Amino acid sequence: MKNLSTLTTIALLFIVTIASAQNTAEDEFGTWYILSTNNKMTDNLTFNLQSQVRTYELASEIEQFKIRTSLNYQFTDKVSGALGYAYFRTDPSYLAETPQKFTEHRLVLDVFYKDALKSLNITHRYRAEQRLFNDEATNDDNLWLRYMLKLSHPITEKLSVDVYDEIFLNTSSPVFAQNWLGVGLTYAINKDLRFRAGYQKISLENQSFDRLVLSLNLKTDFRTSKN
């Protein structure tokens, strides 16, 4: 607990220091609030549900609301795949006066490959994400190809640290869309409930954003018989 308190204090001081130094929209330290569940249906099938509220500032100026669902199938101990759908409602007016709110739908295909090097857990995620906009003012439906590499390592029985990088590529010009680089700490409240606090750097072609990521994840098991 002493180590956890020290790490939490350092993280809070880091966040407050950065947040107090912000001036412009790009400099603002925004936050992503995430609630998610992983629901085991059979030994190989899991239904996932996630909701997010993203803000431009630390606790105000909503940027985006998101709901994501997926159905994951475990092919082997290391390989799994998922089909999913996501709904986004975005308000970009904080960045400029003219953009209007718009709605986006996404169809998602994921392939995961997980491995370990002693106590270091390694996750590769390959994602194809078709973006569909239903607003006339937004007519840039496109396909994103995404790759994420994530490394995680336990610190104690309840606390672990992770670092990840994810690149987004367009299938049309320009090829580079954005990149996410992040680090975080996860605390296991119990065997089914976990809380994570992290920092993420979002890099676009001509600008970048800093985000605090706070998430709570619940695991449930609906299998009638468990191994």
Instruction: Specify the DSSP class assigned to residue 143.
Output: E
Cα separation values, 42 from 70, 83, 113, 220, 222, Å? 15, 16, 20, 11, 7
Q: Which CATH number does 2-220 carry? A: 2.40.160.40
**Sequence-ordered list of residues with C-beta below 8 angstroms from that of 75, at least 6 positions apart, any chain:** 44, 81
**Sequence-ordered list of residues with C-beta below 8 angstroms from that of 43, at least 6 positions apart, any chain:** 74, 223, 227
Backbone angles phi, psi at 191, to 5 degrees: -70, -20
pLDDT at 102 (0 to 100): 86
pLDDT at 48 (0 to 100): 98
Instruction: Specify the DSSP class assigned to residue 21.
Output: T
User: What is the residue-level pLDDT of the chain in tens, covering all 227 positions?
Assistant: 555 555 555 555 555 555 455 455 577 889 999 999 999 999 999 999 999 999 988 877 888 999 999 999 999 999 999 999 999 998 887 766 656 788 999 999 999 999 999 999 999 999 999 999 876 555 566 899 999 999 999 999 999 999 999 999 999 889 999 999 999 999 999 999 999 999 999 999 888 999 999 999 999 999 986 65
Best CA proximity match to 30, nearest among 52, 59, 64:
59
How would DSSP label each residue in 41-95?
-SSSEEEEEEEEEEESSSS-SEEEEEEEEEEEEE-SSSEEEEEEEEEEEE-GGGT
| Prediction pTM value | 0.86
